[in-house]
Amino acid sequence: MHPLPTLLNAAVAAGLTLVAGGSGTRAALAALTMVGIHASIGALNDLLDERSDQGRTEKPLAMGELHPRTVRTIIAVSATIGFGAASLLGTDCLQIAVAGATLGYLYDAGVKRTWLSFLPFALGVALIPLFAWSAAGAVIAPAILLLSLAAIPGGSALALQNGLADYQLDRAAGTHGIVVRIGQRTTLALATLLHAIAFAFVLFGTAASALSLALGATLAAGGLIVSAGGEAHRRRRGWELSACGLALYAVGVALSTSA
C-alpha cells in the first residue's frame, strides 16, 4: 500500500468537497471513502502478489509479518468502511466509488501485467473531482468535467512514473506492464508528454490561478526529474511529488469554479 498517495487523494477529495460547498461532515465522509477503498485495493494487491513479492522488505505479508487471513480481514473491513461512507453521501457517490474500486481490483487481478496497466489508475484519478462534487451535492460545472478529463493524461503519467519506481522488481517478478514492455527511457518521455497534455488542458480550458498552475507544474516537473534515475525508493518520491502537482491543479480549478 502507498500511504502518501492514499492520504493525498483523501485530502484532495475532502478539500474539493468543501470548495464545492459541502459540509465538514460530507468532506470527512469523502475522505473516509478514499482511505477505505484505497486500503482495500492495496491490501488485495499485496495478497495476490504474496509470492512474487518475496524479499521485498516494505511488504509485511511477503516478509511473513502478517498472516494472509489478517490481510483478508483488512480488505473486507476497509472496503466496508469505504463503501459505507460513500453510501451515506448518496447514490451517485456510491456508484462512483464502486467504479473506482472496480478499476483498482481489476488492476490487482491482472491488468497490471498488460499494456493497459496504466489505465485503471488514470481513470481512477479522473473520478475524484466528480466524486467530490457529487459529495457536496453540487451541480458538476464544465470546468470540473474538464479537470476530470485532464486527470486522464495526468493520472496516466503518474502510473508510468510509479512503474518506473518498480521497474526492476516488476521485471524480476515477470510483471510485464507497459513500463517493462516499452523500457524506462520511452516511459519517461511518454510521462513527460502526458504531463504536458494535462497542463495544457488546465491552462487553456479553465480559469485556474497562475499561482496554482505555476506551483503545480513545478512539482510535476520536479517529480519527473526525480523519476528519471536513482534507486526505487527515490523514484517513488518522484511520482508522489508529481501527484502533489496535479493536486494543486485540482485545487486551482476548484477555487476558480466556486469563485
- Domain end residue (candidates: 92, 123, 139): 139
117 and 150 fall within a common domain: no
- Domain end residue (candidates: 106, 139, 172): 139
- Domain end residue (candidates: 139, 165, 183): 139
Per-residue pLDDT for 64 more than 90? no
State the average pLDDT for the chain. 93
Per-residue pLDDT for 59 more than 80? no
130 and 104 fall within a common domain: yes
CB atoms within 10 A of CB 152: 18
Using 50, 70 and 90 to split pLDDT, how confident is the model at 175? confident
- CATH number, position 215: 1.20.120.1780
Range in 50-64, 119-133, 160-174 the model is least confident about: 50-64
The pLDDT, as a whole number, for residue 53 is: 64
The pLDDT, as a whole number, for residue 57 is: 62
102 and 128 fall within a common domain: yes
Region 253-258 average pLDDT: 92
pTM score? 0.92
Using 50, 70 and 90 to split pLDDT, how confident is the model at 62? low
The pLDDT, as a whole number, for residue 54 is: 66
Range in 49-53, 195-199, 240-244 the model is least confident about: 49-53
Region 28-40 average pLDDT: 98
The pLDDT, as a whole number, for residue 56 is: 64
The pLDDT, as a whole number, for residue 169 is: 80
Per-residue pLDDT for 55 more than 90? no
The pLDDT, as a whole number, for residue 249 is: 97
- SS3 letters for the chain? CCHHHHHHHHHHHHHHHHHCCCCHHHHHHHHHHHHHHHHHHHHHHHHHCCCCCCCCCCCCCCCCCCCHHHHHHHHHHHHHHHHHHHHHHCHHHHHHHHHHHHHHHHHHHCHHHCCCCCHHHHHHHHHHHHHHHHHCCCCCCHHHHHHHHHHHHHHHHHHHHHHHHCHHHHHHHCCCCHHHHHCHHHHHHHHHHHHHHHHHHHHHHCCCCHHHHHHHHHHHHHHHHHHCCCCHHHHHHHHHHHHHHHHHHHHHHHHHHHC
Domain residues for the domain of 258 are: 141-259
pLDDT tens digits for 85-117? 999 999 999 999 999 999 999 999 999 999 999
Per-residue pLDDT for 134 more than 90? yes
12 and 131 fall within a common domain: yes
Q: How many domains does the chain have?
A: 2
Per-residue pLDDT for 83 more than 70? yes
Using 50, 70 and 90 to split pLDDT, how confident is the model at 225? very high
Provide, rounded to the nearest whole percent, the portion of the chain with pLDDT above 70: 94
Provide, rounded to the nearest whole percent, the portion of the chain with pLDDT above 90: 78
**Which cell is 74 given?**
483488512
- CATH number, position 135: 1.10.357.140
Per-residue pLDDT for 232 more than 70? yes
